[in-house]
Amino acid sequence: MALTLFALIIRLFRISNPHEVVFDEVHFGGFATKYINGQFFMDVHPPLGKLLFAAVGLLGGYNSTFTFKDIGDDYLASHVPYVTMRLLPGFLGVLLVPVSYITLRNLGVSNISAILSALMLTLDNGFVTQSRLILLDSGLIFFTGLTVMMWTDFLSNQEQPFTFTWWYPLVMTGVSLGLAGSVKWVGLFLVATIGLSTLQNLWTVLGDLRVTPRQYVHHFAARALCLIIIPGFIYCFLFQIHFWALPNKGGGSGFMRPEFQSTLRGHEIEDTFEDVAYMSKIHLRHHATNGGYLHSHKHDYPTGSKQQQMTVYPFKDENGEFLIAPPLLVKNDTGYVVPVTKLQYLKNGDIVRLIHVKTGRKLHSHNVKAPVTVNDHHWEVSGYGDDSWNGDTNDNWIVRIADKSVSHDDPRPIKAINTRVRFIHVNNRHCGLFSHDKKLPEWGFDQQEVTCAENSGRPGAVWLIEANTNPFLPPNAKKVNFKKPGFFAKFIELHGTMWSINQGLTGKHPYESRPIEWPVLNRGILFWTEKSNGPRQIYLIGNPIVWWTSTITVLSLSVLLVAGVLLMKRSVPILSNLALYKTWNASLILFSGWFLHYFPFFLMKRQLFIHHYFPALYFAILSTGVIFELLTHKLSRASRMVLAGAFLAIVFLVYLDFSPLAYGNLMHRHHCERLKWGKHWDWTCLTSPEDEHDIKPQVAGKVNHIDDHVMKPIWDKAKLPRVDNSSLAGAGFQGPPIPTWTGA
């Protein structure tokens, strides 16, 4: 209880500061808004954390009108209950501290060693920062810690199988395992951690001569039920809640296939005519990546032909509308087009031009290398010509049904949505309209690259025709009709799209880092700076003493494990010592937890940031208590308390020194510069006051939160005098403006 109270003070101190949108609150606050409004969105993370933010937002009276559009947007002006929403990760961060303590006690670690790790966790500035904002990481790490706590509780009750004290922690391990994986996919790494420990546990049970074969089957079935079926059910059920909560069309609808979109209210799929004909206005959806629609805009390639860009864009808008026009014909070296005056259905094998409706440019390819994929098999696709010029034959494309059972000369009609098609370039019959997961650089707005790729039979050259309208079709023409998908079909499709988007996050970011840098705390992330380059900032950086110590201790665990295995092979009774046995057993769980939450990131090529290390860091911090236990178990209790106290005093002083970066408090420039222990710690000190004496006049900058939306003011707003903030400018006032009531 003392640890929890101390953590409550550390984690929730001035949690209302700043009263502006910080870092990824842009995303997760925005997703909570979409849940409340029921607007379908797309995110790479499972739904639990965002559902919880939406729930606490509703409980706090949030009216779901704030957009969370930009970092620095003011919460107070829009009466957003942001403090209530921040309290959710705040309390989860607080509860993680007693969870860590209980976990180590379950592993047989002494009280002093468990307190040591728990206080290191409490005083880590990185964990403090993460647990004070509307972010998913606090929930992920809490459920990770809860899973390990319940599992170690289960392991400590092995002598009482199939009793309540045995079943309860086993069931709760499965429940919390499902919850961890439902916040972020990183939580699924925990499945491997618990799985390895389960195999070791089952091996131990198998070696127990008191356990009959029938009883062993029951042991296996109990673990399968609790650790596979229960987490799987929870994970699936939360996605069902996700679908129930988002019944309406929204910004993420364009990522999903037409069948999925048909399950959303307000969709446009049922208004699509089935028959496609010349002069139809269509949207072309890329089938293989599910990345969006063929798209163009009034921006040119900076290289190659320097003609208008053609891309794939996730959302259906007017820049994705194309007209199916008849081909350009050539006679006597003169190009001409046969006008369309009546309904002419589009058939397999027809030659067409695709004209971008908004700019009049034709879909075009030629003997110019693609902008990103510059090998011999990819050619640039661009927008060429305009309304005043017919263009050339490089604008002509053959439409083919993407079905091997349909021959090239089969004049089968092309249908919207239900017919998958390819567009083969007329002047290069081996080249087809193609897209893949590669993104264009910043000049292409990070949109998906489109090329004309040889070997046009590959999946990336398949497209769907959507949103088909035609002036020659009668109003009662047949509309597209298809069966709406059920839960599992939607579940599978959504996961495929989430995975595809996740893998596509490969662009550069100024604060990204690689896994090799994380254990040594090479760099952090700038979360927020005060508007107009003010002196306050929030920078995600851990407590260096905590990080470096935990890295040393978790690597020590690996040495301990290897040494234990080698000595056992030589029949050396090292594990007959109780302290050594407890340490070795705890090392198996903690080191596997650290390794399995850290090593997989080395295999990823997507954007990575230091906050991805926090689940692994949790296990590393717990390992410090285990190593301290091993090194000091023969010392007196007083000596151990002195050693632990001295170390924690250093940790606390470093926490205080770095705390302005976690809480967004003011600090003078000398202090700010002194904190830059690492050469890559790149927060700014240019706007900080010159020395501590300059801070005192800025106390007025600490906003008096007259309405932080935890409760309504009890005074009459009409009687509150208007404050003229401009009068403070000449008095050295550098903080955010004092909130004023409009219409007073």
Report the C-alpha gap between 551 and 727 in whole angstroms: 52
**Least trusted range by pLDDT, from 269-283, 422-436, 499-513:** 499-513
Structure tokens at 688: 């900080």
Could you tell me if 35 and 245 are in contact, meaning their C-beta atoms sit under 8 angstroms apart? yes
Backbone φ and ψ of 367, nearest 5°: -85, 60
The angle subtended at Cα 204 by Cα 203 and Cα 206, nearest 5°, is 65
Q: What is the pLDDT of residues 372-401, one digit of tens each?
A: 887 778 899 999 887 777 778 899 999 998
pLDDT tier at 519, thresholds 50, 70, 90: very high
Asked whether the CA dihedral 559, 565, 566, 570 is positive or negative, the reply is positive
Dihedral over alpha carbons 345, 347, 349, 354 (to 10 degrees) = 50
Judged against a pLDDT cut of 50, whether residue 708 lies above it is answered with no
Q: Which amino acid is at 320?
A: G
pLDDT tier at 331, thresholds 50, 70, 90: confident
pLDDT at 532: 67
Average pLDDT, the chain: 86
Q: Higher confidence at residue 464 or residue 700?
A: 464
Q: Higher confidence at residue 297 or residue 710?
A: 297
What is the per-residue burial (b if ≥16 Cβ within 10 Å, else e) of 315-345?
ebeebbbbbbbbbbeeeeeeeeeeeeeeeeb
Structure tokens at 239: 């996605």
Please state at what angle helix 614-632 crosses helix 544-569, rounded to 10 degrees. 60
Q: How many CA atoms lie within 13 A of 692 on its CB side?
A: 1
pLDDT at 363: 93
Q: Which residues contact 453 (CB under 8 A, 6 or more apart)?
A: 377, 378, 379, 431, 432, 434, 460, 461
CATH class held by domain 270-503: mainly beta
- What's the whole-number mean pLDDT along residues 463-491? 85
**Least trusted range by pLDDT, from 216-220, 234-238, 425-429, 572-576:** 572-576
Could you tell me if 260 and 497 are in contact, meaning their C-beta atoms sit under 8 angstroms apart? no
Dmax (CA) for the chain in angstroms is 103
Q: Which amino acid is at 542?
A: G
**Cis peptide leading into 721, omega within 30 of 0?**
no
- What's the whole-number mean pLDDT along residues 635-655? 97
- The SS3 of residue 226 is helix
- Region of residue 531 (left: phi > 0; alpha: psi -120 to 50; beta: else): beta
Structure tokens at 255: 């990522």
Report the C-alpha gap between 557 and 668 in whole angstroms: 41
Judged against a pLDDT cut of 60, whether residue 647 lies above it is answered with yes
Closest listed residue to residue 108, CA positions, set 622, 556, 583: 583
The angle subtended at Cα 637 by Cα 631 and Cα 640, nearest 5°, is 45
Helix (H) / strand (E) containing 554? helix 544-569
Structure tokens at 166: 């045995």
Q: What is the pLDDT of residues 555-599, one digit of tens each?
A: 998 888 887 767 666 555 544 454 555 667 788 899 999 999 999
Report the C-alpha gap between 744 and 742 in whole angstroms: 5
In this structure, the strands spanning 334-336 and 351-356 are unpaired
- What's the whole-number mean pLDDT along residues 632-661? 96
Helix (H) / strand (E) containing 217? helix 213-224
- Region of residue 662 (left: phi > 0; alpha: psi -120 to 50; beta: else): alpha
So where are the chain's domains?
A: 2-12+20-242+509-663, 270-503
Report the C-alpha gap between 734 and 297 in whole angstroms: 42
Whether the model clears a pTM of 0.75, i.e. scores above it, the answer is yes
**Least trusted range by pLDDT, from 98-112, 275-289, 515-529:** 275-289
pLDDT tier at 510, thresholds 50, 70, 90: confident
Closest listed residue to residue 200, CA positions, set 171, 223, 229: 223
